[in-house]
Structure 1
Amino acid sequence: MMIDLGVPMSQIILAAEQTVYMVFVSLFLGTILAIIMSVVLVLTNADGILKNKYVFTVLNTVINIIRSIPFIILMVFILPLTKMIVGTRIGTTAALVPLVIFIAPYLTRLFENSILEVSKGIVEAAQSMGASYFEIVWYFLLPEAKSSLILSITTGTIGLIGATAMAGVIGAGGVGDLALTYGYERLNTPLMFFTVVILVIFVQIIQSIGNHFAYKTRNH
C-alpha cells in the first residue's frame, strides 16, 4: 500500500537532485581550496620546509574565524558576497557560495592533520633527491596521505548534507528544506520520516564508498 506523502514524487526527486547538486559542487570546489590551504599551512608552519610565520599566522587565523561562525549565521552574513558572485541571493546556486566557504576551512583542518601524519623522513628523502617544493607535495606528501584524505573528504561530505538543510533559509531547496517546509511546518509525519530515511541512506552510501576507497588506497 502506497503512503501519501502529501507532495508529488516529482517534487521529492527534484529536492534530491538539488541536495546532490549542492553537496557535490560545493565539495569539489571546497576540496580544491582546502588542499591548497592545508598544504600552505603544513609548508609554512614552525617545522615546515617553507617556514613563514606571517603567512601561517594570517591563514591560520582566517580559517579559525570562519570555522567559529555557525553556518546559518555565515550564510546570512555573506549574502552581499553571494549576490556579487552569482548574481542572486536566493536559490540552489546561491547556496553554493556559503557552502564552499563553510566546507573549505573545515576540510583544511582535516587535510592538514592528514598531511602532518606523513613521516618527516619521506620529506627529507625527497629533499635529498633534489625534489622541488611542488614535487615534494605532489609526489610524496599527498600520495602518502591519500587514504586519510579520502576519509576526510567523506567526513566533509556528510557535514555538507547537514548544511544543505539549513540552506533552505535562502530558498536553496533540497531534501532538508522539503522536510522542514512540507514536513515539519505542516505536521506531515510520513514525509518527515521519508526524508530522514533518504538522508540516512545517502550518508550510509557516502560513508561506505569513502571507506572502500580509503581501504583500497591503504592496502594498495
Structure 2
Amino acid sequence: MYGFEWDTATPLTYAWSILPIILIGLTVTLKAAAAGFSIALVLGLVFALLRRSRVKAIAWTTSVVVEFLRDTPLLVQLFFLYYVLPDYGLTLPAFLTGAIALGLQYSAYTSEVYRGGIEAVPRGQWEAATALNLSRTDVYRDIVVPQIVPRILPAMGNYLVAMLKETPVLSVITILEMMGLANMIGERTFDYLVPLTMVGVIFLLLTLVCSAGLHWLQRALPKAGIPLQ
C-alpha cells in the first residue's frame, strides 16, 4: 500500500512503520474537513439570510431545505450524491462529493448559529440603521457582522470539531482518510489495535488543538464586538 512496508515485530516498530501511511490519511482528513467547513460557513450564511427574506415563499422554501438537511443522516446524503446523481448525468469526484456532503449537512447547523447571532442584535440598532437610510449591505457589514462574530465563534468551533470527527464516514465512497487507511492496514496485518489507537490519538490531538485555538480566539476578540476602526 502506497509503496510502504511495515514491521509488526513489536507494537512500537509497527506504529513507526505505518506512521507515513497514517499521515497521508491525516492530510486527506484535514483537507476534507477544511473544504467541508468552508462550504458550511458560506452556505449557512446564505441560508440564514434567505430565511430572513421579506418574500415569504423564499423564507419558507429555505426553512424546508434547512430542516431536510439537518434531519436526514449524513450517510444518506453522501450516498445520494455519490450513487444517485450519476444516474441523472452528474458525476463528481469522490473527494469533492465528500466535501459537498459535509458542507451541506453542516450548513444547516451553521445557518441556525448565524440566525441566532443576527437576531441577538438589539432591535434599536436595526431601527437606527433604518433611520440613517443605510443599505442592507452596509447594515450587515458594519453593524451586524462585527457584533455576531464573537457570539457565534464557540458554536462554530464546536461544529468544526464535530465535522472533523465525522470525516471517517467518507471512507464509504472510497476516500482513503485516516480511519479508512487504518482499517486497510488492520485487514492486511490482522492487527487493528495499533493503527486504530494511532488514529484515535491523532483525532484527540486535533480536537485539543482546535479547542485551544478556539479559546484563544474567544479571549482575543472583544466580547462587545469587533471594532470597525
- Which TM class, normalised by the smaller chain length? 0.7 to 0.9
User: What per-residue deviation string (whole Å, max 9, x for no partner) do you get for residues 106-131 of structure 1?
Assistant: 21112211221221122112222211
What's the counterpart of residue 138 of structure 1? 141
Assess if the C-alpha contact under 8 Å between 1:147 and 1:215 holds in 2.
Answer: no
> Is contact 2:39–2:100 with CA below 8 Å preserved after alignment?
no
- Show CA shifts across 1:167-189 (max 9, x none): 11001121232344434894511
Contact preservation (8 Å) 1:123, 1:141? no
Q: 1:103 Cα shift?
A: 1.7
Equivalent position of 1:71 in the other structure? 74
Q: CA deviation at 1:3?
A: 4.7
Residue 28 of structure 1: aligned partner: 38
From 204, 210, 220, the counterpart of 1:206: 210
CA offsets per residue over residues 25-75 of structure 1, 9 Å max, x none?
11112211111211222x33xxxxxx3322111100110011111111110
Distance 1:180 1:2, change over 3 A: closer
In the alignment, the residues of structure 2 paired with residue 70 and residue 6 of structure 1 have an alpha-carbon distance, to the nearest angstrom, of 36
| Matched residue SS, 1:2 | helix
Cα distance change of structure 1 residues 82 and 145 upon mapping to structure 2, 3 Å threshold: farther
Gaps of 5+ in 2: 1-10
Gaps in structure 1 of 5+ consecutive residues: 45-50
**1:32-111 equivalence runs, <5 A:** 32-41=42-51, 43-44=52-53, 51-79=54-82, 80-81=84-85, 87-88=92-93, 90=94, 92-111=95-114
- Kindly indicate whether the alpha-carbon contact (under 8 Å) linking 2:81 and 2:101 is maintained by their aligned counterparts in 1: yes
Greater Rg over alpha carbons, structure: 2
CA RMSD of aligned residues (A): 2.4
Q: Could you tell me how far apart the structure 2 residues matched to 1:207 and 1:86 are?
A: 36
**Range 155-164 or range 54-63, more displaced:** 155-164
Q: How does the TM-score come out when normalised to structure 1?
A: 0.85
Of the three residues 20, 24, 34, the one matched with 1:14 is 24
Question: Is the Cα–Cα contact under 8 Å of residues 27 and 103 in structure 1 kept in the other structure?
Answer: yes
Cα 1:147/1:183, change in 2 over 3 Å: farther
Taking a change above 3 Å as real, the CA distance of residues 157 and 141 of structure 1, as seen in their structure-2 partners, is same
